[in-house]
Chain A
């Protein structure tokens, strides 16, 4: 089942299927290793509710929920 990364809870994992959107944000995400087929684990949500921290390709990455919304995982 495909869903947005934003919906994953801390501790949940997914495999990236697609990144929506375009331009700088998408490119930045891809440059950081958020590409199709990569496994992503949601670590935590920041204390104020945004951004989120994920583990991907063996390192910790943070982005906002608005970015996470465009990342589809299964």
Chain B
């Protein structure tokens, strides 16, 4: 027989550590249906029974206001796990118990776990677990999951509960609410119970209906006459207390919590004493130091990821794939007498195409290492605290800064980093704007054109392109915030968790989970895309393999769409074909330009190519082309990441459509505006 235990707890309570301790490396990571929130499931090791552990999203409450909360409660209601393991950060027990007061109403056996007990003990505080068990009507256990202490006992206890057939009714009858409210709840429970699919959550349902929870109303399928009757109960109580029901319920819960915390928690340290976290925060979020420190941290992460170490890994993987592996496979194919097109497909198309994505894997891993480090240590929340004011002006939130900044390195991991934003709207907008940050792959294009047309002020011209990207992002933020992503300002209410020294194991798991997603994508979407793009640029319409890209399908498409670019100043077909091939990776634009101008594959500092370009471009046209390169659809890898994070084709197409539209308009303004001003 299979048992299913669900892990429930606040963010930062050590839930992930607990999950990893219980399941080891047997976990399965996927997404919840319809949303990008991670769904983790694993098998408990060290037990002969078949025990599945489900890691529900970290939540503060079972309110219907965030995706995570809805997922968690829907899972519990619909799937009815055998036991709920409710994990609490014992150093912050008061707020953590709030979720507990809701979880115990669901009519499913609960094990309450006080985690991070080592910290509580080292402070000299104590918690009377026996007393707490009486108040909550559930078993209470202590653990220090980061040291693996007490973890097996938790699973053992949950197993005992699951095997005891009779669920204790006691844990549903904890007196949290005052008499009048309690009486109402009991009455409503009696009225609705015959309509519920299962009886065990009747108390939870009654409370939600009294609170006026719309999502619960939809879900529970209660006849409308009965809903009206429940609303009368609600109105009566609200009048009597001169307050709204939601507030009264929350007030009652916290009053109950204050009461039991007073009885069970003994604090040694006097209040108001500065903890280590407070001391660190005096510096980290200091009025004068906070911003310089934030920039320094970002700069350091950026330097390591995209600087020497990052480029070293790129070169290394590049050599491994494009030289060693390609050479090896080439040899095999020749020995096997493979036809030329097959050889080209495998070596040029598949290995080349996949290679151009896989070279980013180590870099993405490094970036995720740092992001995990910043998150696990508690700094990420501070960064959001410091930057929120500035970013809110553009419709973003404090947390958007990190992905946007990473966008200067590589759009793909930057888009994936948006996952740290809890808020759906903030995340969508951040994903749409991040590609405007000029990534490393676009630089060769700027270098080529700047050297050919702006020899005297190369660096200023290139810098201006970067600034252009930021300006476009800011303006887009303001525009999108007031149009398609319109709505009430999302609340910014965030915990600043205490600083903790992250464990290497924790960070590694975090990093691997995220990196794996990219590798998986590289193996599917990007693989397919490389084959398609290779085909389009190597074959003509009558399926003959061509030497000159001009004769390929891409060449024809390029010629067909070239007039679209005429108002932007680069209506020649070579430019359009180069831009199309840039979809593989933006630096490919340079190589294609070389081939199309009959010079062969060249680097961005090629003098011959510069001379060839001078024949067909003017400085103004060149600048418009650079601006277009900056802003149009990012490469296939970034597109795949956008699709993954948006989790919707509509939004993905809207994002790339918007980017390309903006690219066209901006290049148009530059070219036509420049001409009006008499520039050339």
Contacts and interface: CB of A to CB of B under 8 A. Distances in A.
Nearest to B102: A31
B493 A25 contact: yes
Contacts of A37: 251, 254-255, 258
Interface string B79-121: 0000000000000111100100000000000000000000000
A74 interface: no
Contact of B492 (A27, A38, A48, A67): A67
Contacts of A51: 385, 388-389, 492
Contact of A49 (B254, B389, B491): B389
A47 B288 contact: yes
B385 A53 contact: yes
A30 B498 CA distance: 21
Is chain A's interface secondary structure helix, strand, loop, or mixed overall? mixed
Interface residues of B, number: 42
B389 A44 contact: no
A58 to B, nearest CB: 6
Interface in A9-67: 19, 22, 24-33, 35-38, 43-44, 46-51, 53, 57-64, 66-67
Given A28-B491, A47-B288, A61 B496 contact: yes
A36 B248 CA distance: 9
Most B Cβ at <10 Å: residue of A37, A43, A64:
A64
Given A30-B247, A59-B95, A50 B389 contact: yes
Nearest to B265: A58
A67 B491 CA distance: 8
A48 B390 contact: yes
B94 A57 contact: yes
B492 A31 contact: no
A61 B494 contact: yes
A22 B290 CA distance: 33
Contacts of B290: 46-47
B494 A63 contact: yes
B223 to A, nearest CB: 27
Interface string B300-329: 000000000000000000000000000000
Most B Cβ at <10 Å: residue of A22, A38, A44, A60:
A60
In order of increasing CB-CB distance, the 4 nearest A-B pairs are: A48-B389, A31-B61, A30-B250, A60-B496
17 contacts: A19-B247, A25-B491, A26-B246, A27-B61, A27-B63, A27-B65, A31-B60, A35-B251, A47-B286, A47-B287, A47-B291, A48-B389, A49-B389, A51-B492, A58-B94, A63-B492, A67-B492
Interface of B: 60-61, 63, 65, 92-95, 98, 244, 246-247, 250-251, 254-255, 258, 277, 281, 285-288, 290-291, 381, 385-390, 392, 489, 491-498
